[in-house]
Structure 1
Amino acid sequence: MNTDNYILVRHYCETTQISDTFISSLHEYGLIECRTIETEIYIEADDIPEIERINRLHHQLGINLEGIDALNHMLKRMQQMESEIKNLKDKLRIYE
Structure 2
Amino acid sequence: MEQENYILVKHYCEQTKISDSFIDSLHEYGLIEYKKIETETYISSDDINEIERIDRLHHELGINLEGIDALNHMLSRLREMESELRLLRNRLAIYEK
TM-score range, shorter chain: over 0.9
The TM-score normalised by the length of structure 2 is 0.94
Q: Check if 1:64 corresponds to 2:72.
A: no
Gaps of 5+ in 1: none
Deviation at 1:57, TM superposition (A): 0.1
Aligned counterpart, 1:80: 80
Deviation at 1:39, TM superposition (A): 1.5
Between the aligned partners of 1:27 and 1:57, the Cα distance in structure 2 is: 16
For 1:36, the aligned partner's letter is K
Over aligned residues, Cα RMSD in angstroms?
A: 1.1
The TM-score normalised by the length of structure 1 is 0.95
Between the aligned partners of 2:60 and 2:4, the Cα distance in structure 1 is: 31
Number of aligned residue pairs: give it: 94
For 1:22-68, what per-residue CA distance to the aligned partner results, in whole angstroms no more than 9, with x for missing partners? 00000000000010012110000000000000000000000000000
Q: Which runs of 4+ in 1 moved over 6 A?
A: none
Aligned counterpart, 2:90: 90
Identity value in percent: 71
Corresponding residue SS for 1:18: coil
Aligned counterpart, 1:41: 41
Corresponding residue SS for 2:95: coil
Between the aligned partners of 1:69 and 1:94, the Cα distance in structure 2 is: 38
